[in-house]
Each structure stands twice: as C-alpha cells, then as structure tokens.
Structure 1
Amino acid sequence: MKKPPYEYRIGLIMILLTAVPIGATQLGWYLYGKQVGFDFGMIAGIFSVILAGYLMYQKGWRDEDED
C-alpha cells in the first residue's frame, strides 16, 4: 500500500493523537461518569501514541517525500 502525501500523513497523526483520546474521554464521561471517562481517555491515549509511533518509525511516515 502506498503512503499518503506528507501533509496528509501529518494531519492523520495529529487527528489520531488528539481526537481519539478526547473523544474517548468525553464519551466515557457522558456514559459512565468523570473517573471512568478519564480512564477511557488515558487508555485511548496510550493506544494512540503506540499507533502513531508505529506509523512514524516502522512505516516511515515521518520522512518527507523525495520527488
């Protein structure tokens, strides 16, 4: 599978690192209360950072395109 353009890769990583933990926190807070919402946000944040690190270092998403 071909890598998306550099600008899209950075945007996807930014969304991954912000929207996922914030969304999990808000959803957990709304459904289960404050403490569970924070826990959901922390767990989602851990997985988001792991996935972003994998994409950046193992898949080479941090390198700019050489055209």
Structure 2
Amino acid sequence: MKKPKYEYRIAIIMILLTAIPIGATQLGWYLYGKQVGFDYGMIAGVFSVILAGYLMYRKGWRNEEEDEDED
C-alpha cells in the first residue's frame, strides 16, 4: 500500500490525536457522566498516541524526504 502525501499524513495524525480523544470524552460525558467521559477520553487518547507512534516510526510517516524521490 502506497503512503499518502506528506501533508495528508500530517493531517491524518493531527485528526487522530485530537478528534478521537475529544469525541470519546464528549460522548462518554453525555451518556454516562463527567468522570466516565473523562476516563473514556483518557483511554481513547492512549490508543491514539500508540497508533500515531506506530504510523510515524514503524511505517515511516514522519519522513518527508521519501516523497521527493517518488515524484
């Protein structure tokens, strides 16, 4: 599978690190209360950081130089 362009990779990582924890917090807060919502946000945040780290370091999404060679 081909990697997306560098700009798209950065946007995907930014969305992954912001939208998922915030969404989990808001949804949990609305459905179950303040403390459970906060816990859901923390759990979702941990998984988001793990996934972002995997994409950046194992899949090489942080390297901008590779895109210039492919064009």
Q: Mark yes or no: TM-score above 0.5.
A: yes
User: How many residues end up aligned between the 2 structures?
Assistant: 67
Query: Counterpart of 2:42?
Result: 42
Pairwise CA distance, 1:9: 0.1
Runs of 4+ in structure 1 over 4 Å off: none
Pairwise CA distance, 1:66: 2.4
One-letter amino acid matched to 2:11 = G
**Match status 1:26 vs 2:26:** yes
Pairwise CA distance, 1:7: 0.2
For the aligned residue pairs, the C-alpha RMSD in angstroms reads: 0.5
Secondary structure of 1:66's counterpart equals: helix
* Structure of larger gyration radius: 2
Give the structure with the higher percent helix. 2
Query: Counterpart of 2:68?
Result: 66
Q: Equivalent pairs: percent with the same residue?
A: 88
| TM-score, normalised by the number of residues in structure 1 | 0.98
| TM-score, normalised by the number of residues in structure 2 | 0.93
Structure 1 unaligned spans of 5+: none
